[in-house]
Amino acid sequence: MNHETESMNQGRRDFLGAAAGVSAAAVAPGMFLHTPVANAAARTEPVTDMHRWGLLVDTSKCADGCTACVDACDTENGLNLQSKPLGDDKLKWQNQRSTWIRKVKLQDNLTGNVTNLPLMCQHCEHPPCVDVCPTGASFKRADGIVMVDRHTCIGCRYCMMACPYKARSFIHEQVDQKLTRAPRGKGCVESCTFCVHRLDSGDISTACADACSAEGHQALVFGDLKDPTGPLRQALAKAPSRQIRQDLGLNTGVRYTGL
């Protein structure tokens, strides 16, 4: 009986190995989209600080009225499965539903110049949300992704008070439909994870950046801030960029050009 178990697990392992090989081979030619890294497969070792994931937003390419990134994020993380609880006020619900990424439109007070940009969790190096969390549920992963451990979040919302970017949402209602890759439930706080389930499967991409490219805007470049030859660092080197609330010195993982 044990022997049979062994062989079954062996079979499973073989399958995983083969799949990993396929995906590694498959990913390699896709360099223009996805940076190949040493372990382009489901990881078996914990993440390290060898990488720090980041995003560059070119606001000059971010189109007015386009919500491709927002829609893609909603689909990717099951946020499109949210529905207004019966009896809730329509406008209030818009302010209560989870929003991981939002399109922001700004006008310069002096020049009248209009700028569009997506705003999400900025994945700070020194995240205020992590400092204030009483249980440590709000944490920064070794590779720089700021996340919420929903198993220890008690829903106190102190992180939402602390976040300078209004990036976090509290789940105000019972969640009936959720995706396997993005578990979420009532009473916890959540925010953008840089599509961490993709990264952990060896795919260096986010739904928002992919959607932006698919629309032909190419306003979002996702990648490794620690890889000097990677697409993100190369894009960052080309144009001056800044952080939102740069004065706070949080060293965000999301940078903006043309702001």
Within residues 73-92, the interface with another protein by CB under 8 A covers 78, 85, 88, 90-92
Q: Which residues contact 178 (CB under 8 A, 6 or more apart)?
A: 78, 81, 184, 185
Contact between 191 and 100 (Cβ < 8 Å): yes
CB of 9 to another protein, least distance (A): 7
CB of 237 to another protein, least distance (A): 25
Q: Left, alpha or beta for 125 (phi > 0: left; psi -120 to 50: alpha)?
A: alpha
Going 256 to 220 to 74 to 134, the CA torsion angle's sign is: negative
What is d(CA 259, CA 61) in angstroms, rounded to the nearest whole number?
A: 12
Residues numbered 123 to 182 that lie near another protein (CB under 8 A) are 128, 130-137, 139, 141, 143, 147, 149-158, 160-166, 168-175, 177-182
Residue 120 touching another protein (CB under 8 A): no
Q: Which CB sits closer to another protein, 56 or 256? A: 256
Residue 240 touching another protein (CB under 8 A): no
Binding region for another protein (CB under 8 A) out of 12-20, 55-63, 216-224, 225-233? 12-20
Residue 99 touching another protein (CB under 8 A): yes
Q: Which CB sits closer to another protein, 128 or 236? A: 128
Q: Which CB sits closer to another protein, 176 or 237? A: 176
Residue 39 touching another protein (CB under 8 A): no
Residue 193: phi, psi to the nearest 5?
A: -115, 10
Residue 229 touching another protein (CB under 8 A): no
Entry field: residues in the chain? 259
Residue 69: phi, psi to the nearest 5?
A: -65, -40
Residue 38 touching another protein (CB under 8 A): no
Residue 197 touching another protein (CB under 8 A): yes
What is d(CA 168, CA 130) in angstroms, rounded to the nearest whole number?
A: 12
